[in-house]
Amino acid sequence: MDTNGNGKIEALRKREAAIKAALAAEQVKQQKRKERDNARLASIIGAALIEVCAKQPESVGVMVKQILAASSLRETDRAFLTAKGWGCGQ
């Protein structure tokens, strides 16, 4: 039997380590969920915008091109969009 309390301290430290590990795992899980949700949002919204732009190129299409032109896109993304007919040069 431990009369000086070291056993209890050690058990509490083990619980603390387990809780910290569980907390870290949960944070990673939530971050991955957030990234998946953001990717899904981008996919859904992007698909809807592309569909509407195809139907209304003179109004919505022009507005989306203006938004793309004002956005801070990488040059490779800008070149890709231009090659696909989304001419969003600055």
pTM score, whole prediction: 0.65
Query: CB under 8 Å to 53, separation ≥6 — which residues?
Result: 60, 61, 64
Per-residue pLDDT, 48: 93
Q: Report the C-alpha gap between 88 and 67 in whole angstroms.
A: 8
Per-domain residue ranges of the chain: 1-55, 57-90
Q: What is the largest CA-CA distance in the chain?
A: 83
Q: 88, 78 in Cβ contact below 8 A?
A: yes
Q: 76, 69 in Cβ contact below 8 A?
A: no
Q: What is the pLDDT of residues 31-85, one digit of tens each?
A: 999 999 999 999 999 999 989 988 888 888 888 888 888 888 999 998 998 898 8
Query: CB under 8 Å to 12, separation ≥6 — which residues?
Result: none
Run of H or E including 71: none
